[in-house]
Chain A
């Protein structure tokens, strides 16, 4: 057996070139990963839908469950119109003209109403401009449950800042296929 002379620098020194490149890669990863970790959330926040604020902290659960109000009581046009409609101050005033319950928010509503505040609620769910959707067709004729598209909005205790469900075309199409409805493009886009 012939003894091989050890390369200068000891055993494994022949690998120097490769391990150098590897450590350089690791250095990039070491810098890149935290940077990416910082950038991704920033980008996600930037492209996220803007938060929708409401004039009062409306408690859906209280009204739908405890008081047993129908959705249509406030969303008047849900079976007959394209938009379901949002309630105006006079709708709230039916009960809240006089103080109701013990919550601070209910007291604030009465105060706002006596001050003549219009209580302008803001639309939370928005479809793209090129989608032609009507509630009358889906709720009035097809009798779909509100939860199918709006999720658990009826059981929220404070208004969500963003829609609970993100509705995509895929979601619409799969439901249309299941129920044997038209999947013709012009049905929704025109």
Chain B
């Protein structure tokens, strides 16, 4: 059974935030006016979180790129009253915008705070509008959105593979963040397929998951040598 997942090597991450930018442009994520962003209303499906360790000037930074964890046991789906968010057979946690009623239960249930509410309708300048990705919807005001592991890319890759009469390869389906990462810190693939790099990497002794004790079983693994 396919279980799409991600391994992020924190020892390689430089905190450049290319993944954030790539994600925003790939997924038509609206920019929010700065005053609203100060109120915590900015949307960032992929966010580079920073952990500061030690006292200045002897401090170090640890960056944690944080997408949706696509948990195997997602707390967001159990609270959704309309099944707008659900987990599919391949372990992807979907968010169906036309079905979402904007109650924000899921955003509050998510311990990783990856779910974002659209407080406003998206506003695009004329030049931005021309660059919108036609494979991804533009979310209206009043719905929750989150990282989809660039699911639309999976569909395109499947379609291309079928048209060429071959099976789907690991490199066919890569989310925008993994594709753009300059240090190759983000690795994406099928966690249950021994031929995929992630299957091996998740067994690495450095591997850990965020808030593992909650039992959400996230499918995003972090590799970190510093304890």
* Contact pick for B137, options A82, A141, A190, CB 8 Å: A190
Q: Cβ of B206: which chain A residues have Cβ within 8 Å of it?
A: none
User: Is the CB of A189 closer than 8 A to any CB of chain B?
Assistant: yes
Q: Once the chains are docked, how many angstroms separate the CA of A82 from the CA of B134?
A: 10
- Known interface pairs A129-B137, A130-B98, A130-B137; A186-B148 also in contact (CB < 8 Å): yes
> Contact: B94 with A185, CB < 8 Å?
yes
Q: Cβ of B88: which chain A residues have Cβ within 8 Å of it?
A: 184-186
Interface of A toward B, CB cutoff 8 Å: 82, 128-130, 132, 134, 136-137, 140-141, 184-187, 189-190
Interface residues on B, range: 20 to 34
Q: Cβ of A186: which chain B residues have Cβ within 8 Å of it?
A: 88, 92, 94, 96, 148, 151
Main SS class of interface, A? loop
User: Is the CB of B123 closer than 8 A to any CB of chain A?
Assistant: no
Q: Mark B85-113, 1 if CB is under 8 A from A, else 0.
A: 01011001010111100000000000000
A-B contact pairs, 16 of them (CB 8 A): A82-B134, A129-B137, A130-B97, A136-B159, A141-B159, A141-B162, A141-B163, A184-B94, A185-B86, A185-B88, A186-B88, A186-B94, A190-B135, A190-B136, A190-B148, A190-B151
* Contact pick for A184, options B89, B99, B137, CB 8 Å: B89
> Contact: B163 with A136, CB < 8 Å?
yes
> Contact: A137 with B159, CB < 8 Å?
yes
User: Is the CB of B131 closer than 8 A to any CB of chain A?
Assistant: no
Chain B nearest CB from A35 CB (Å) reads: 35
Q: Once the chains are docked, how many angstroms separate the CA of A94 from the CA of B116?
A: 53
User: Is the CB of B152 closer than 8 A to any CB of chain A?
Assistant: yes
Further 18 A-B residue pairs, CB within 8 A, beyond A185-B86, A186-B88: A82-B134, A130-B98, A132-B137, A132-B152, A136-B163, A141-B162, A184-B89, A185-B94, A185-B99, A186-B92, A186-B94, A186-B96, A186-B151, A187-B155, A189-B97, A190-B136, A190-B137, A190-B152
Chain B residues 136-156 with CB under 8 Å of chain A are: 136-137, 148, 151-152, 155
Q: Once the chains are docked, how many angstroms separate the CA of A186 from the CA of B152?
A: 9
Lowest 9 CB-CB distances: which A-B pairs, in order? Answer: A186-B94, A130-B98, A185-B96, A184-B88, A189-B96, A141-B162, A186-B151, A137-B159, A185-B94
> Contact: A132 with B135, CB < 8 Å?
yes
Q: Cβ of B96: which chain A residues have Cβ within 8 Å of it?
A: 185-186, 189
Q: Cβ of A136: which chain B residues have Cβ within 8 Å of it?
A: 159, 163
Q: Cβ of B155: which chain A residues have Cβ within 8 Å of it?
A: 132, 187
Chain B nearest CB from A118 CB (Å) reads: 21
Q: Once the chains are docked, how many angstroms separate the CA of A89 from the CA of B136?
A: 31
Q: Once the chains are docked, how many angstroms separate the CA of A129 from the CA of B163?
A: 26
> Contact: A134 with B159, CB < 8 Å?
yes
Chain B residues 45-102 with CB under 8 Å of chain A are: 86, 88-89, 92, 94, 96-99
Q: Once the chains are docked, how many angstroms separate the CA of A132 from the CA of B86?
A: 19
